[in-house]
Amino acid sequence: MRVAMIGSGYVGLVSGACFADFGHEVACIDKDPAKIQALEAGRMPIFEPGLEDLVRRNVEQGRLSFATDLSDAVAAAEVVFIAVGTPSRRGDGHADLSYVHAAAREIARAISGYTVVVTKSTVPVGTGDEVERIIREERPDAAFAVVSNPEFLREGAAIDDFKRPDRIVVGAEDARAADVMRELYRPLYLNQAPVLVTSRRTAELTKYAANAFLATKITFINEIADLCEKVGANVQDVARGIGLDNRIGSKFLHAGPGYGGSCFPKDTLALVKTAQDADSPVRIVETVAAVNDQRKRAMGRKVIAACGGSVRGKRIALLGLTFKPNTDDMRDAPSIAIVTALQDAGAEVVACDPEGVEQAKKVLENVTYAPDAYACAEGADAVVIVTEWNAYRALDLSRLARLLKSPVMVDLRNVYRPEEVRAAGFTYASVGRV
């Protein structure tokens, strides 16, 4: 099938490359000429394991192309995806749909023949209705259907998630459009990925509900971790004890410094705003968002406490800056609030990250960057594990202790066993363990 992907950011580029790898003919469109030039030269705008090779292979085989103008690609396409950004809107927290609406208008002017227009961007309930209205207003003569097909990709594992999904959700009001989407995803048939066809509004809400539920699990175990520290329990054992219950499951029960990234913060906020507008508030999600925001700053206070109650004039080494490993994404990363809290308390911050330094420089000020964990720790008064990159999971603790001015480790991801770190001479603090 011929596919046009409007937007070549994280979702659009990964999805477009994977569809091309299935054998479809895909054109990825983006307004940014520099991004398109980089993609044509084989340079990725994001870090995602395996993406560069996937893109290169499909470009070489003629199934994947890039352009700044959508006219030709949309006119030739049977399926057109909208995969543009929907950031939180300044001032009120609602999802900013201006890019979605602009894409719909451009698509309307270019479509030719029956076309399925698919919203891949994460959007509030009712957005598909508005996209349909915009296209119909621009092109009363057009033969088209608007479908919702939310993405459920984890950064750092997006390609595998796309090719081996738990489910494919298709929100369609038109049987013909639903059949087109089934054909598009037919290559996944051998993986037995279930295709759930719902109404369009149901599909839109499913995405928000999924992310809000996962964010709730993270926030729940973080609060249990705080309780564990007060009563002398071990949060990792608690998480195993409840996670072995099939009704609960073990995923997203890892205590840490709070969630960040491109999805959970903005999607929980957008769901809260949607629910308030519908006069059906989601109190649990409201609390989850508030608790998570507070937790990030609290992790800075945790570091200060581990350093004896003051970090003024001290040098603090942070290992990891991105919101999770295997990505360069700094959006709403806990490290941002932690760095700010430490700097506000008078600390000098030095940091390292395998992939996120360039992005970190755009959002963090007055931070010194080191090439690796050992260089980062040299002469520091404490070392803090913020992101659980593999590079930080098996450090030479004796060497690390010798490099530090004072052997203090704050492990915000519970990477190490307390007895192991203390045996190396460290004063050690972790999350939900004593």
Residue 164 to residue 156: CA distance in whole angstroms: 14
Residue 319 to residue 388: CA distance in whole angstroms: 8
Residue 404 to residue 422: CA distance in whole angstroms: 14
Residue 66 near residue 30, CB atoms below 8 Å: yes
CA atoms in the 13 A half-sphere facing the CB of 80: 31
Token reading at 312: 């003024």
- Amino acid letter, residue 309: G
- The residues that bridge with 116 in the sheet, in sequence order, are 79, 145
Contacts of 244 (CB under 8 A, 6+ apart): 250
Structure letter (DSSP) for residue 97:
-
- The residues that bridge with 67 in the sheet, in sequence order, are 29
Token reading at 142: 């057009």
Active-site annotation holds for 263: yes
Contacts of 9 (CB under 8 A, 6+ apart): 30, 45, 46, 83, 84, 85
Residue 151 to residue 85: CA distance in whole angstroms: 13
Render the burial of 133-163: b for 16+ CB within 10 Å, e for the rest.
ebbeeebeebebbbbbbbbbbebbbbbebbe
Write the burial class of residue 280 (CB in 10 Å: 0-12 exposed, 13-18 middle, 19+ buried): exposed
What is the 3 state secondary structure string of 3-33?
Answer: EEEECCCHHHHHHHHHHHHHCCEEEEECCCH
Which of 263, 307, 352, 376 is labelled catalytic?
Answer: 263
Q: Is the dihedral of CA 161, 165, 171, 174 positive or negative?
A: positive
Cα-flanking dihedrals φ and ψ of residue 359, to 5°? -70, -35
Residue 128 to residue 113: CA distance in whole angstroms: 20
Residues with catalytic roles: 263
